[in-house]
Structure 1
Amino acid sequence: MSKDAAARTIAQDAERLIQLSELLHANPETAWEEHRSARWVAESLEEAGFAVTPAYLGLETAFLATYGSGPFRLGLCAEYDALPGLGHACGHNLISAITVGAARALAPLADAAGLTIEVYGTPAEEGGGGKIELLERGAFAGLDLAMMAHPAPVDVAEAEPFAVSHSHVSYQGKAAHAAAYPQQGVNAADAFTIAQVAIGLLRQQLPPTVRVHGVMTNGGEAPNAIPAHTEGRWYVRAESLAQLAETEEKVWRCFQAGALATGATLDISPESRPYAEFRTFDPALRAYVQNAHQLGRVFDRGSPARAMNRASTDMGNVSQVVPAIHPYIGINSAPALNHQPEFAAHCVGPDAEKALLDAATALAWTALDISAA
């Protein structure tokens, strides 16, 4: 039985897959800098007979690995970027190993199952929109199914991410001595303060499906100098791209208020294209759930830890173009949650290893189910 064969391959590959996950975890690389990570993931596929195209479509840390020539085109996505200062606190080391495990398990079955397997190494998910860059250059076109599985504290089947925009915000004012000549300055830090107060008040009128949050990355140089230049990074999230565009107009007015009140000059520039909401391919999700149940996985129904399925992802943009699923595999980390250093610590070890092997198996079985349907 092909499913049994896939499970056996993953069991045989277990040590190799765990080592790949641990290697990535120990050597975190942030968005667009994942040179070693991309190479290590690609090499683990190349040694299984996949044909690898590095620097895919001109993106240095992307790759495409292919196997088979069947009529059903399956896309599997590997993410491997880490978070600045937090390492693999979102578990992308596990995502890569899960994807490699599923791909290697399916390769010997590709001809019999009528599969062409396409593994996409996708950089810069953490704010850089790597999949969107790949989409705009022609990747993913014509796939029959795209899949990946993401670590979370608990198992959750369906992705329901917020659409999100990522923006760089800066104010340009005028420096002056803060004690002797303060009236000669234009305070760019005050402009940020006014904007953040305005955003705080705006939240009273925003629906519960909206999130607005950000950080200042440059707040000035010295306490005795009026800050001439300040910078920050801000995210706006909403239920859909349409609601996101409507919300952004209101948020940008808050930043404009800071400029108007202080006389500073405002610049807002996007860091990537907006991430879209997710469109789930229900037949594949039902198959994944059934396969996960067969492996003994239990899906969370009500705990706060399941909210990771609301986190934004550029896989949402892929789902707008081709059938896709993005389930979450639990690593038993609670109370540690994604984007916490404690979660990074849970992304290696026995629970993470079990999640890795279960998710790889469930994805492989799902591909076999849908390609045979």
Structure 2
Amino acid sequence: MGELKATAEAAARRAAEEVLALSHSIHAEPETAFEEIETSRKATDVLRRHGFEVETGVADMQTAFVASYGSGDLVIGVCAELDALPGVGHACGHNIIAASGVLAGLALASVADRAGITAKVFGTPAEEFGGGKIFMLRAGVFDGVHAAMMVHPGDQEHDSHFTRSVVDLEVRYTGRPAHSAMAPFEGINAGDAATIAQVSIGLLRQHLRPGELVHGIVTEAGHAPNVVPHSSSLLYDARADTIADLEGPGGVKERLIRCFEAGAVATGCDVEIKDDWPAFSEFRNDEPMVAAYRRNAEALGRTFSDVPAEQRQRQAGSTDMANVSLEIPAIHPSIFVDGQGSTPHQPEFAQYCVGPDADRAVTDGGIALCWTAIDMATDADQRERLMASRKAES
């Protein structure tokens, strides 16, 4: 195992300059959900140059891809998230995620045959909005994969991951326009419908259970003060600790929808609630892989944060990698990037997702993931366990 890890690390170090250039290039040209055309091309170009077979456009998504190397019976998948955030670019550091995933794949390829591994790098679009991994799961793209992994930059270092389940709802009210001075009584005010819905949501927050959250924005509410708004739209998400709490009877999603319906009832507007996006689930950490990743990251000099699990759950966000974890043994560790007091999703954090600290996160993250895969492949008990996992069918 030591020789395999040394070989893999040497391969990663040789490829580091090329992969760090990839990280910087992705950062410089951020692309949002489902539009990651250049980002996907850049990543697949690197993988092809290193002998990976690449399939693009998987799961009917133009930017999703699967890059494969080797023919071992243990299939290890590394997820490379591609999308940026609207308005603030790579303030969540997906350039680091994509590059570390590519680097892990290249390192694994150097030992794939000797370790009995097939290495797969999954280019996954639309994590910030839409849930690209969930569409890939549903399309069978992850079938036959025995373990899935990725690293995510953050303001703390953690070996395991906590998330909340989340669902996105798009809401549109349609009323009737009128002159707001001459004949306001002829109008049906869609802006008022949005206001009533938001007041209802504010009152609902008094009665949300621990772990339940509701947040949203108004994306349209009229265009001129002298015209009664005839249309309005909102984009909201609802979160809970588990998908059962989110979508079950009496769950926060059901109660949120009632608030939107109240706006329509009170004003006479028509309401359309678009519920097409899949819900993100809670995360299931694969503990043996978590422990292996921690050992490997510490061997590279990483230091983990000591934050109680209860606090981390209270601060949890959401990811479509969680849905993967419910079907395939998975890890999603957080790797520290010093944002000088800023945190992911703040515009200030984006500037720290390139530079020496971010580059170290790419290389350390990629190597630690690769070493973790080697640990799983060379431990007979762990290999057998993963081979028997739910997604073992080919």
Instruction: Please give the range of the TM-score, normalised by the shorter of the 2 chains.
Output: over 0.9
Residue in structure 1 matched with residue 385 of structure 2 by the alignment: none
Deviation of the 1:58 alpha carbon: 2.5
CA distance 1:210–1:306, shift in 2 (3 Å): closer
Return the letter of the residue paired with 1:213: H
> Which residue does 2:204 correspond to in 1?
202
- Tell me the residue number matched to 1:25: 27
Which of 182, 198, 219 is 2:184 aligned to?
182
Is the CA contact (8 Å cut-off) linking 1:79 and 1:95 kept in structure 2? yes
Aligned to 2:195: 193
> 1:302 Cα shift?
3.0
The answer to whether the aligner puts 1:234 opposite 2:231 as a matched pair is: no
Counterpart position of 1:97 = 99
After superposition, the Cα gap between the structure-2 partners of 1:60 and 1:30, relative to the gap in structure 1 and judged at 3 Å, is same
Under a length normalisation based on structure 1, what TM-score does the superposition of the two structures give?
0.97
- Using the TM superposition, give the Cα deviation of residue 261 of structure 1 relative to its aligned residue in structure 2, in angstroms: 0.9
CA contact (8 A) 2:163 2:313 kept: no
Contact 1:152 1:308 in 2 (8 A): no
Amino acid at match of 2:273: I
Answer yes or no: is the 8 Å Cα contact 2:8–2:370 preserved in 1: yes
Are residue 152 (structure 1) and residue 154 (structure 2) matched?
yes
The answer as to whether partners of 2:58 and 2:141 remain within 8 angstroms in 1 is no
Question: Are positions 1:58 and 2:60 aligned together?
Answer: yes
Residues 155-174 of structure 1 correspond to what in structure 2 (within 5 A)? 155-174=157-176
Superposition RMSD on alpha carbons, in Å?
1.6
Alignment length, in residue pairs? 373
**Is 2:274 the counterpart of 1:274?**
no
* C-alpha distance 344-307 of structure 1, shift in aligned 2 (>3 A): farther
CA contact under 8 A between 2:160 and 2:333: conserved in structure 1?
Answer: yes
Q: Distance in 1 between matches of 2:257 and 2:60?
A: 33
**Which deviations, in whole Å up to 9, do the C-alpha atoms of 1:30-54 show, x marking residues without a partner?**
1111111101101111111100111
Query: Which position in structure 2 is the counterpart of 1:365?
Result: 371
Give the alignment of 1:123-162 within 5 angstroms: 123-162=125-164
Q: Work out the percentage of aligned pairs sharing the same amino acid.
A: 46
d(CA) in 2 for partners of 1:302 and 1:191? 43
Where in structure 2 are the equivalents of 1:246-261 lying within 5 Å? 246-261=251-266
Conserved? CA contact 1:155–1:306, under 8 Å: no
After superposition, the C-alpha distances for 1:201-236 in whole angstroms (9 at most, x for unaligned) are 111111220110011111111111110000111100
Instruction: Determine the C-alpha separation between the residues in 1 that align with 2:312 and 2:159.
Output: 10
Q: How does 1:113-128 map to 2 (within 5 A)?
A: 113-128=115-130
One-letter amino acid of the structure 1 residue matched with residue 305 of structure 2: D
Cα deviation digits, residues 13-72 of structure 1 (max 9, x gap): 221111000000000111111111101101111111100111123221111100000011
Alpha-carbon shift at residue 249 of structure 1 (Å): 0.9
Distance in 1 (CA, whole Å) between partners of 2:292 and 2:340 is 27
- TM-score w.r.t. structure 2 length? 0.92
Structure 2 unmatched ranges of 5 or more: 380-394
Aligned equivalents of 1:130, 1:346: Cα separation in 2: 26
- Cα distance change on mapping 1:2 and 1:91 into 2, 3 Å: same
Q: Find the residue that maps to 2:144 and give its secondary structure.
A: coil
Question: What is the rounded CA distance, in whole Å, between the counterparts of 1:328 and 1:148 in structure 2?
Answer: 9
Question: Using the alignment, how far apart are the partners of 1:370 and 1:289 within structure 2?
Answer: 13
2: CA distance, partners of 1:116 / 1:184: 67
1:292-311 mapped onto 2 (5 Å cutoff): 292-302=297-307, 310-311=316-317
**In 2, Cα distance between the equivalents of 1:289 and 1:226?**
59
Q: Does residue 352 in structure 1 map to residue 358 in structure 2?
A: yes
